[in-house]
Chains A and B, each alone.
Chain A
Amino acid sequence: MDVARFEFDLDTTWTAFFIDADRNIYSRYGGRDESTSDGRQTKASLLQTMREVLELHEQRKAASRLLVKDADVHPAPSAKLTPKDIPLLRDNHSGCVHCHQVREYRLLQAFHDGEFRRDDLFPFPLPENIGLKLDRDHGHRVSEVVEKSAAAVEGLRPGDTIVRVNDVPVHSEGDVRWALHRAKSDQPLAIVARRQSPSGDSSTVSTELRLSANWKQTELGWRKSLRSVPLPLGFLGYAMGREERTAAGLKPDSLAIKVASIRGSGLATNLDLKKGDLIIQLDGQRGERTLDQFKSDLLRRYAPGDKMELRVLRDGREVSVEGLFPKWHTNDVSVP
């Protein structure tokens, strides 16, 4: 399977494509967020995408081959990539390859090739990241524009239907997310929307969004591939249960990551964490987090070399520990 042409969010358990006989992609459908695996998918939005794709397919069939426009389909990659083309996967993996494992091997391969970039951590950004909430029962019609967001600044409105993001024609939220995924984070984002007037007339709105530096960041705690991110925590730990937290004198809904043991070097050694420390605050935040959510919080806030601080309970006293966020590193060459 060509995972370059059929690129999708590999941490999801279900995703779909609409294609023609030449494997041109009309639309991508699927995608999730941290709340539920299928909360962003509805029967109504799937049918909406199907209707649009079928109409486009019929139009392209009716047009002469010379008049068929590449701009109507998703841009194709310049080269094919199969899981076997990832050297670490080919050399170290046997048996069935799960989708998330393909992503994990790509992360490990990028690190070992010296090509890992922080942006790689945040695949398939949400439309909310650019200030757009999309109607779940339509898929690519704006239901809300987040106040003061880039989308609001450029005048996008509720009711606008997003029809293109950069070079990607849009028929679903999945299309929007793929376009955001492949967009350069430091370049303006071109959006074309269809706007209906109260009298029913339709017009086209074209705009360019200028986005903040970290606009691609989303919660990573739900992603299976998080375990293969080259972040050396340097400790083994766990999120304490509610009863343990209460026994430690903490609120039941508070942050409580127990450092069970120090392993190798990394964040723990940089901040001089000790076995038995209880992490209770990160960047002023004390809300309940799992270990994976805590890891996600770290990755969203810091880059290697950034100064950081944690508050920990040590021998019954609350202390502050400071140090530098560690450089990317992993010794892993395979994925369990």
Chain B
Amino acid sequence: MRLLPLFILTFTPLSLLADQTPRWHTDITRACEVSRTTGQPIFLVFRCVR
């Protein structure tokens, strides 16, 4: 069984302002690790494809 599809983006204020390419992850555990290391918050997206 595959669970809910999700895409996770970590970003910084700088990346927003400078329009840098954000980093996408598909594993929330990995995204949390990156967030902890870099101090960036996480943008977590659920997208259901019907």
Interface residues of A (CB under 8 A from B): 1, 3, 6, 8, 12-23, 26, 50, 53-54, 57-58, 61, 82-84, 93-100, 102, 224
- Chain B hits for A96, CB < 8 A: 1-2, 5
Residue on B nearest A102 in the bound complex, by CB: B4
Residue on A nearest B6 in the bound complex, by CB: A1
Interface residues of B (CB under 8 A from A): 1-6, 13, 16, 28, 32-33, 35-36, 39, 41-50
A160 to chain B, nearest CB (A): 27
- Chain B hits for A8, CB < 8 A: 46
Known pairs A14-B47, A16-B44, A16-B46; A83 contacts B16 (CB<8 A):
no
The reply to whether B4 and A21 form a contact with Cβ atoms under 8 Å apart is: no
A121 to chain B, nearest CB (A): 20
Q: Which 3 A-B pairs have the closest CB atoms?
A: A21-B35, A21-B36, A99-B48
Known pairs A16-B44, A18-B41, A20-B41; A54 contacts B6 (CB<8 A):
no
- Chain A hits for B2, CB < 8 A: 95-97
A15 to chain B, nearest CB (A): 5
Given contacts A19-B41, A102-B4, 18 further A-B contacts (CB under 8 A): A1-B3, A1-B6, A1-B28, A8-B46, A14-B48, A17-B46, A18-B43, A21-B36, A21-B42, A53-B41, A54-B16, A58-B13, A83-B1, A95-B2, A96-B1, A97-B2, A98-B50, A99-B4
The reply to whether A99 and B46 form a contact with Cβ atoms under 8 Å apart is: yes
- Chain B hits for A12, CB < 8 A: 48
- Chain A hits for B42, CB < 8 A: 17-21
- Chain A hits for B48, CB < 8 A: 12-14, 98-100
Tell me, in angstroms, the Cα distance from A86 to B32 when the chains sit together. Answer: 26
- Chain A hits for B16, CB < 8 A: 50, 54
Among B1, B35, B36, B47, the residue within 8 A (CB) of A93 is B1
- Chain B hits for A6, CB < 8 A: 44, 46
- Chain B hits for A15, CB < 8 A: 45-46
User: Residue among B5, B39, B46, B50 with the most chain A CB within 10 A?
Assistant: B46
Residue on A nearest B4 in the bound complex, by CB: A1
The reply to whether B44 and A97 form a contact with Cβ atoms under 8 Å apart is: no
The reply to whether B35 and A20 form a contact with Cβ atoms under 8 Å apart is: yes
Residue on B nearest A101 in the bound complex, by CB: B48
- Chain A hits for B3, CB < 8 A: 1, 82-83, 97
Residue on A nearest B38 in the bound complex, by CB: A21
The reply to whether A13 and B44 form a contact with Cβ atoms under 8 Å apart is: no
- Chain B hits for A26, CB < 8 A: 41
Tell me, in angstroms, the Cα distance from A163 to B34 when the chains sit together. Answer: 29
Tell me, in angstroms, the Cα distance from A61 to B39 when the chains sit together. Answer: 8
The reply to whether A57 and B41 form a contact with Cβ atoms under 8 Å apart is: yes
User: Residue among B36, B41, B49 with the most chain A CB within 10 A?
Assistant: B41
Known pairs A17-B44, A20-B41, A53-B41; A84 contacts B4 (CB<8 A):
no
- Chain A hits for B6, CB < 8 A: 1
Among B4, B41, B43, B45, the residue within 8 A (CB) of A97 is B4
B45 to chain A, nearest CB (A): 5
Among A21, A102, A224, the residue within 8 A (CB) of B32 is A21
Tell me, in angstroms, the Cα distance from A243 to B4 when the chains sit together. Answer: 42
The reply to whether A13 and B41 form a contact with Cβ atoms under 8 Å apart is: no
